[in-house]
Amino acid sequence: MKVWDILGIRPTTDTNVIKRAYAAKLKAFSFDENLQELEQLREAYELALKNAKLITETLQSKFITPSADNLSGSSEKSTHLRMVSPLPYGSSGEDPSVTAKADAFMERVAALYGTISLRRDPLQWDALLAQEPSWPPSLKGAINMQLLEFLEENPYLPVAIWKLLDERFYWTEQEDELRDTFSDEFVDFLFQELHREWELSYAFIPDDRDADEFLACRDNLIEKLMKNELDQASYYLGAFEEADFNDPDLLRLVGEYNCRIQDWEYAWQAYHRLIELEPDNLDGYYRHAYVALKKGLTGRAFADYRHILSIQPEDPQALSGLAQCFALYGKINEAKSLLELVVEQHPFDLDSSIRLLEINRQLLAHYEAEAQQEPKQKDAALAIAQLYYDVNLPDRCCKTLDRYRSAIGRSSEDELLRAKALLDLERHDEALEMLDRAWNSARAEGSNGYDILVRRGIINLERSNRNAGVRDLKAALKLNPYDPVVLFELANNAYLEDRLDEGIELATRSIAMDPRPWGAYAVRCGCLFEMGKYAEALPDYRKKLEHEYDDGQAWFRKGICHMHALQYSDAVDCFRAAVEWGYEDEDASFLIAACFYNGDYEQALDSLSELQEEDPDNSDLCVMEGDIYRAMGDKDKALAVYSEAAERFPDDYYPSQRVLYMLLKAFNRNDTKKMDSHIGRLLRLEPDDEWVLAESIKLLMNLKIWKQVPLMTKRYFAELDIDGEYASEVLFYCGVALYHEGMYRESLAHLQRAYELGLRNETSIYRSAAYYKSSQLENAIVHARLACQELPDRPEYAQYLTQLEQEAAGTGRLRRGLAGLFGGGKPELPDSLKLPHQEVAEIEKLRFDLTEDEEEDEDDDE
């Protein structure tokens, strides 16, 4: 084959060139052309890739010089077990011992693979790979390559072994690299095996059969059955011998094939043998019963379904099959009861629904005939009316009751049936009137009227006649405390009336009685959400959304629950789903916040941009934009966004707050006027804003404008309580400012109050200095010692204490006298002890209040 002529390129070892050439040919191909040419093109492509890889390896070994002739060859592969020859040692720098060790390992792989009982045993492969953690990278790489080449030719391994190997060699993380080296067919097969959730057994391969031949034949049979290519499936079936049919998986395939061609006898034999081999596997009984019905062996099918139900009493397939048997035996009512049970539990079981419809038609014909007979007319007429109601023909139900009125008379039974039919016809007033009549009839008959109470209670609740509805349902609950429907209706009413604890209790009881309907979960999660029990609400929201996935509000609230649980990725998904299902009236900032806290700032900006287009005059969105840039580390962009917003919205608090925060963080004295301007604006908007008041005092401290600090401190405590977040710091700052102003007594009072509120840091050392300035040397020493104990890693504190102690001992007098001659004085607080630059208190990361927005959501509900 002239590979390069077919591909239309010069001989090359560049796999990318080969792939591009192949893609170009495919794009130009028309299916009107000869399909054989397409097969040749594919073969040329695979052969070019294979030989390009071979030539590259050979070039590295320096054993041969490449030529165009070397790039051609046969693409045929042996179907027998073979060992892949190791790559020769050459210029790649591999140690010959690495190749030898890889070869030795592969010999063990071949031996393991060659014995089917060992091949399928994970423990054998675990033992083979026991030393893998200690392999050097060069050895692991060599083994990895040779192992893949081996498996490309010998691919029949159980899924568990494929996954075990993947855990050691990380193939699932290297798909692109694998496709550069191996054929797409092999890589596709590899990933198919790694992701397979089911597989056929390797346990029943006959000892006298070639294992790979057997497995290849079985795989081909599966493929042909999946494609419904029955002629070719027959060909592969013919390759199996009689002894092979001890394999249960093969028997399933034989049975399936014969069912496809409707050879029920051979299918029966296959499934009968399957039951003998696997008596505990119900799958065989399902298949056996199905074929039994096709063969007319109703009794055998009946026994099979009964056997299944003795092990799985609620199995819908077996119940439906048993109903079919009852119908064949002429037991129509029994069949109807079973099918009603299946449809109630599995409303999307189309086969059972169709069978039930057919059963109801048969019963209608039967009762129509009976209704012509005087002795049976009443019961037959009621049965006909009930059947019309069951098949969703309420109008025919009412007409039947009217038609046979003289025969039926009046009773609570027919009045309840008429009321239900009227409800389906949305004739609610007539239905309520009929339910009242049914209730009176039931009392006259001595019946408890339970079904009437339930139906009347539900319809009254639906029509907002809550007192009457609750009265009836509570009366019904006394008669039967275990009805999940009644419990649900009362739970839902409690939720709507904001009796949340009661709603949770009733919904939980309903779920305990019947966990299948999702309505009670919806009620319970609603109650839990409004009580702020978000973690408890999450499982119920999952259950609700499994059944009502288009409920935008439920997605939204589930997202809020995830936000509270700090599960931001899940919250993003939920908020997006809420938007997709039309819940757009809600504040879209939730999605922005979820993206932000999930660290996806670009997505947060994209979502924000869309929202700004819809609401360009929303200052909060501008603040959020700045917050996102701030989180991204782009401080200049953040400040620019905040500043623009502050100019556009001078009466809004947050834009100016953000600008002030950024300016304070940078603390450039040239920006003092800007900072003062924003402080004035913010205090005009919110005079009692604790953060702004505290930061304005810090700013005065950093600028050493001591005189204004006491005034701002007075304003702070005029607006705020002593228990405020920054109270101790403000008292400390005021004490320091008074110290610098020489007002030592007032300084000590403020420092003492700050200390009592728990502020340590520099408080004790300043108290010491103030005492010293007040000529209270003994107190100055006490507080200097306290400062040394509180912050022992500050050597300047110890130095200052030593000066004070020397002063007290008199040794400092001579020094002061000498210092006086040279311009010195009393010990001063060292520069290193003076108040450092005051850091700005952090503000929220994002302009987003989860609790506030939840309250808005609740207001919307109301």
Which pLDDT score, from 0 to 100, does residue 247 have? 82
Which pLDDT score, from 0 to 100, does residue 464 have? 86
Which pLDDT score, from 0 to 100, does residue 84 have? 33
Reported as a pLDDT band with limits 50, 70 and 90, residue 136 is confident
Which residues have CB under 8 Å from 840's CB, separation 6+? 661, 664, 665, 695, 698
User: Tell me: the pLDDT tens digits for 473-487?
Assistant: 999 999 889 899 999
For residues 463-477, give the mean pLDDT.
92
For residues 575-585, give the mean pLDDT.
83
Can you read off the two tokens belonging to residue 205?
């391969």
User: Tell me: the pLDDT tens digits for 154-197?
Assistant: 988 888 888 889 888 889 888 888 888 898 888 888 888 888 76
**pLDDT exceeds 70 at position 60:** no
**pLDDT exceeds 60 at position 689:** yes
**pLDDT exceeds 80 at position 276:** yes
User: Tell me: the pLDDT tens digits for 497-515?
Assistant: 999 999 999 999 999 988 8
**pLDDT exceeds 70 at position 66:** no
| Residue among 281, 345, 354, 355 at smallest CA distance from 325 | 355
**From 454-468, 716-730, 775-789, the region with the lowest mean pLDDT:** 716-730
CB atoms within 10 A of CB 30: 6
The mean predicted confidence, pLDDT, of the chain is 83
Which pLDDT score, from 0 to 100, does residue 14 have? 67
| Residue among 622, 703, 681 at smallest CA distance from 689 | 681
Which pLDDT score, from 0 to 100, does residue 823 have? 37
- 8 A C-beta contact, residue 759 and residue 729: yes
Which pLDDT score, from 0 to 100, does residue 38 have? 64
CA distance 110 to 408: 83
Which pLDDT score, from 0 to 100, does residue 821 have? 36
- 8 A C-beta contact, residue 79 and residue 154: no
Query: C-alpha distances in angstroms, 604 versus 155, 576, 639, 779?
Result: 47, 12, 18, 58
Reported as a pLDDT band with limits 50, 70 and 90, residue 696 is very high
Reported as a pLDDT band with limits 50, 70 and 90, residue 368 is confident
Which pLDDT score, from 0 to 100, does residue 587 have? 63
Q: Is the dihedral angle over the CA atoms 469, 471, 472, 473 positive or is it negative?
A: positive
**pLDDT exceeds 80 at position 813:** no
Which pLDDT score, from 0 to 100, does residue 506 have? 96
Q: In this predicted model, which residue has the larger pLDDT, 232 or 855?
A: 232
DSSP result, 324-361 = HHHHHTT-HHHHHHHHHHHHHH-TT-HHHHHHHHHHHH
- pTM tops 0.75, yes or no: no
Which pLDDT score, from 0 to 100, does residue 818 have? 37
**From 453-467, 566-580, 582-596, 611-625, the region with the lowest mean pLDDT:** 582-596
Q: What percent of the chain has pLDDT over 90?
A: 35
For residues 846-852, give the mean pLDDT.
79
For residues 743-772, give the mean pLDDT.
90
**pLDDT exceeds 60 at position 91:** no
For residues 620-635, give the mean pLDDT.
94
**From 8-17, 187-196, 212-221, the region with the lowest mean pLDDT:** 8-17
| Residue among 560, 839, 622, 580 at smallest CA distance from 726 | 839
**pLDDT exceeds 60 at position 68:** no
Q: In this predicted model, which residue has the larger pLDDT, 522 or 212?
A: 522
**From 315-329, 509-523, 546-560, 733-747, the region with the lowest mean pLDDT:** 315-329
CA distance 654 to 829: 40
